[in-house]
Copies of this chain bind each other. A is one copy, B any other.
Amino acid sequence: MKARVTVTLKTGILDPQGKAIEGALKSLGVAGIASVRQGKVFDIELAGADPAQAEAALKDAADKLLANTVIENYNIEVRS
């Protein structure tokens, strides 16, 4: 089974990396970009075939390692 965990900064948390990308895009002449925020994505393959069990494992993984829940949100998408 495949899944994707997307980790993004919470609203209000400063994102200097995103700001740098924004500036770089401006100096590269890419028009129309108002703001950029960067996050992480994890494409995970799971051994089992039970979606509920997979989601529990992914939640566990995100809480323990993939996201810093103090400053980041995560979203889990399980694809059969």
Contacts and interface: CB of A to CB of B under 8 A. Distances in A.
B32 A46 contact: yes
Assembly of this chain: how many copies? 2
Contacts of A31: 57
Interface band, chain A: 20 to 34
A76 to B, nearest CB: 13
Given A28-B64, A65-B25, A8 B43 contact: yes
Contacts of A18: 42
A6 B57 CA distance: 23
Contacts of A60: 30
8 contacts: A25-B64, A32-B46, A33-B44, A33-B61, A34-B44, A36-B45, A39-B40, A40-B41
